[in-house]
Every structure is written in structure tokens, then in C-alpha cells.
């Protein structure tokens, strides 16, 4: 790992909350810290590696994009903290095709959410 990548990964500390049955139901929470690897998220090392390879893992769906009207489920999630030194606050849901694709891109951060 390059020195710059190591610094960027080291400045990653996230809190993940998932509501597997919708926003009014019970939730699960995990933490993830990279370099050193830590937190409560299962498969932390793999999650840190995957995040390091992604350019903008929490980018929102761009405005004015046509999305399929296919409902993916009631699940919602919130990711907050710091990614590569930048503050993060990203909400996720599965209300249409675009949001489900966005969810799937980082589903490794949401264990148990769609089982």
C-alpha cells in the first residue's frame, strides 16, 4: 500500500446504522475503523480494502436521473463519520432501482440488512 493510500485509509472511521425492516423498526449499528483495523463491523479488513478501492462510495443518485420504479424493500441505512479525512453523512434506502443500486454498491457495510 502506498504511503498516501495508507494515510487516507487511516483517516476512515465510520458508524453504520441499519434498519432492516424499515425506519420505524429495530435497528443494528456497527463501527468501522481502518489502519489500524477495528470496530464492530464483521469482516472489517475486507470492508476497508473495498472502501479504499472505491472513488466515491457514498455519492448520492444524481438529480434528474430516470430510475426504474422497482421497490427493493423497506431497508434503510445511515453512514456517518469520516472517510479519507472527509466528513460523511449518507442515507440509503431501496425505494427504486437507482437507490437499490446505490445500496448494493456498499452493501458490505450493511450485514444482515437484506436477509
pLDDT (tens digit per residue) in 17-76: 999 888 788 899 999 999 899 999 999 999 999 999 999 999 999 999 999 999 999 999
> Is 100 part of a structural domain of the chain?
yes
For residues 86-100, average pLDDT: 96
Domains in the chain: how many in total?
1
> Is 45 part of a structural domain of the chain?
yes
Closest CA to 112 of 14, 41, 20, 30: 20
pLDDT confidence of 92, banded at 50, 70, 90?
A: very high
For the whole model, what pTM was predicted?
A: 0.86
Q: Which domain holds residue 65?
A: 3-109
Q: What is the pLDDT of residue 80?
A: 98
**Which DSSP state fits 6?**
H
Q: What is the pLDDT of residue 109?
A: 97
Burial of residue 47, with CB atoms counted within 10 A of its CB: 0-12 exposed, 13-18 middle, 19 or more buried: buried
Q: What is the pLDDT of residue 77?
A: 96
- CATH number, domain of 55, equals 3.30.350
Amino acid at each position: 500500500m502506498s504511503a498516501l493510500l495508507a494515510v487516507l485509509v487511516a483517516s476512515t472511521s465510520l458508524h453504520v446504522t441499519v434498519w432492516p425492516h424499515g425506519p420505524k423498526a429495530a435497528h443494528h449499528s456497527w463501527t468501522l475503523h481502518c489502519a489500524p483495523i477495528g470496530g464492530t463491523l464483521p469482516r472489517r479488513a475486507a470492508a476497508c480494502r473495498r472502501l479504499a478501492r472505491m472513488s466515491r462510495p457514498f455519492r448520492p443518485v444524481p438529480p434528474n436521473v430516470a430510475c426504474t420504479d422497482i421497490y427493493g424493500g423497506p431497508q434503510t441505512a445511515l453512514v456517518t463519520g469520516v472517510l479519507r479525512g472527509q466528513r460523511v453523512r449518507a442515507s440509503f434506502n431501496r425505494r427504486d432501482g437507482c437507490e437499490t443500486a446505490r445500496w448494493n454498491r456498499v452493501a458490505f457495510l450493511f450485514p444482515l440488512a437484506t436477509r
